[in-house]
Amino acid sequence: MSSIADNVGTVTRRIQKATRNAGREPGSVNLLAVSKTRPASDLRAAHSAGQHAFGENYLQEALEKIDALSDLRDLEWHFIGPIQSNKTRQIAQAFDWVHSVDRLKIARRLSEQRGESAPPLNICLQVNVNEETSKAGCLLADLPALARDIMDLPNIHLRGLMAIPDPDQPDTELRASFQALADALEQLRRDNPGDSRLDTLSMGMSGDLDLAIEEGATWVRIGTAIFGARDGQ
């Protein structure tokens, strides 16, 4: 069994290779280590191999780890799970990024509750690119208006878009989903030429990170390939 530290190295090299093969700038793709269900000691092992950014899906579990690892000063915390509106205050205060914002009400609360004393919270809008009824995320058609409203909020920065297309679809369809998200970001950038912060595409997981990088991912969210299979999978 390979260790978490070794896996961070392997995934990092895989990202570098995919970035090079896609003809993209070295360093333009960031690794988010998705640590849901993992104990704090696993995150510590990844950190010892140079990993700083961690993604969490469940608030209570995340807050416990943020507390347990508060001696590590250089960690960056990303919330990537579904957001209930009664949980926004803790999310706004404990995290650096939120990838899973999909409605204005949540964005408004995050902005209000972030407050002015902290640096603005980085957020991505989650898009339901394949319009799956069971999935979270806004529809592509609603994106332009929603993005405009969110850009007016003072204490959050809209950085880009996030999607979780079904990783079990055939590669051609998966690629089309990543392309749809990349096209939507391009359109947002054209509609808002003054906003240079729109630079983020959060897409690609353990099974499809190469494809996502070919299509322009700037954050890949990797759990299994770093920490191993989660219980129940």
Ligand X SMILES: *Cc1c(COP(=O)(O)O)cnc(C)c1O
The residue ranges that bind ligand X (CB under 6 A) are 34, 36, 57, 80, 164, 205-207, 221-225
- The minimum distance between CB 97 and ligand X, in angstroms, equals 12
- The minimum distance between CB 191 and ligand X, in angstroms, equals 26
DSSP secondary structure letters along 57-104: S-HHHHHHHHHHTTT-TT-EEEE-S---GGGHHHHHHH-SEEEEE-SH
- The minimum distance between CB 109 and ligand X, in angstroms, equals 20
- Kindly tell me which of 160 and 223 has the beta carbon lying closer to ligand X: 223
List the alpha helices (DSSP H) in the chain: 4-21, 40-48, 59-68, 88-94, 104-114, 143-151, 171-191, 209-214, 224-227
- The minimum distance between CB 58 and ligand X, in angstroms, equals 10
Distance CA 82, CA 57 (A): 7
- The minimum distance between CB 96 and ligand X, in angstroms, equals 16
- Kindly tell me which of 198 and 225 has the beta carbon lying closer to ligand X: 225
- Kindly tell me which of 120 and 228 has the beta carbon lying closer to ligand X: 228
Distance CA 59, CA 67 (A): 12
Q: Which helix (H) or strand (E) holds 33?
A: strand 30-34
- Kindly tell me which of 88 and 206 has the beta carbon lying closer to ligand X: 206
Q: Among all chains, which residue has been given the structure tokens 């997981």?
A: 205
Structure tokens at 78: 């990303």
Distance CA 47, CA 210 (A): 23
Q: Which residue is nearest to ligand X (CB)?
A: 223
- The minimum distance between CB 1 and ligand X, in angstroms, equals 17
- Kindly tell me which of 71 and 168 has the beta carbon lying closer to ligand X: 168
Phi-psi region of 180 (alpha: psi -120 to 50; beta: other; left: phi over 0): alpha
- Kindly tell me which of 158 and 226 has the beta carbon lying closer to ligand X: 226
DSSP 140: G
